[in-house]
Amino acid sequence: MREEAGLSERHACGLIGMHRGSCRYQPRKPNDAALRTRLRELAAERPRFGYRRLHIFLRREKTGSGEERWPVNHKRVYRLYREEGLAIRCQKRKRFRAEARVPLALPKSANEVWTMDYTHDEVSNGRKFRTLNLMDGYTRKALAIEVDTSLPGLRVVRALERLREVHGTPAAIQVDNGTEFTSRVVDQWAFQHQVALHFIERGKPTQNAFIESFNGKFRDECLNQNWFVDLPHAREVIETWRVDYNTVRPHSSLGYRTPDEFAAANSCGKDGGCATLENTPRFPLSHSSDDGGTILTLSVEPKALVAAL
């Protein structure tokens, strides 16, 4: 229009209601070559991570002066993620809801609820092995992953006793109705240490959703991504993944923080951050004794105990 009518820039922009800065603007396409390369590298290291977790890893990287190396938002990462063809299609089975869902009660402190369950896989020669997965329901921290060809109730007790010495005694443990968890040795250990065993209803794994969610991530990111030569190699790879899960992998339900970062921010130590004599949990025990007789419980008031000491 300026060339045909011989108008100045100011006059032409005034006639069409355009800002002069918009008229002078020249689009500048950013050079995303380095960012694309780094995004492909991260996706190759962690092929089961989506763009949101890859964006967290990009934002964690710093320069020598402490500034962010990649100051990008999640929308730009998503665009490059799609353009590079890094998205992996995840086909999920259709589930039909038979009844109204009840929200899962969330624990309010560490060591309030532990949860455990089994998964299985095999080594290169076809030999089967099992894993006993234990996690804290509050911090989502993977406390231990026991790997062996057989994990009976006695091995469960040994693992629980070792974790109790390191992390403290849980108030309750959520489990399914597997024979290892309903065994006498596990029942006796829980009764001895005043730990309530919460058994979910049969056929309702969603009542133990914390460990079921962990099992899905464990299989998707570790078991399905590795080829195990033998049992020692499986133990090494799985333990490396467990440490990475607790210290590096961002957790969406924790605000994309790691379980260790969340536990440190909430002062979750061996006592769960709330171990005082006055608020020690008291609950009725539902475990059976060895001879099937009546179980007698002895309650001691905190003030009387302090006076005795």
Number of domains in the chain: 2
Q: What is the structure's pLDDT at 229?
A: 94
- For residues 209 and 118, state if they share a domain: yes
Q: What is the Cα–Cα distance from 261 to 265, expressed in whole angstroms?
A: 6
- Mean pLDDT of the chain, nearest integer: 83
Range of 169's domain? 113-265
Structural domain contains residue 27: no
What is the layout of strands, in order, in the sheet containing 172-175? 142-148, 128-136, 113-122, 172-175, 196-199
The secondary structure of residue 289, as a DSSP letter, is: P
Structural domain contains residue 105: no
Q: Is the pTM of this model over 0.75?
A: no
Structural domain contains residue 127: yes
Tens of pLDDT, residues 73-114:
999 999 999 999 888 776 666 554 444 445 567 899 999 999
- For residues 248 and 143, state if they share a domain: yes
- For residues 136 and 260, state if they share a domain: yes
Under a CB-based contact definition with an 8 Å cutoff, are residues 111 and 272 in contact?
yes
Give the chain's count of helices (H) and strands (E).
Answer: 12, 5
Tens of pLDDT, residues 14-45:
878 888 888 888 877 778 889 999 999 999 99
Tens of pLDDT, residues 226-282:
999 999 999 999 999 999 999 999 999 899 999 999 999 987 766 555 443 333 343
**Mean of the pLDDT values across residues 284-302?**
42
| CATH assignment of the domain containing 117 | 3.30.420.10
Nearest partner of 100 among 214, 232, 206, judged by Cα: 206
Structural domain contains residue 173: yes
Structural domain contains residue 289: no
- For residues 187 and 47, state if they share a domain: no
- For residues 172 and 231, state if they share a domain: yes
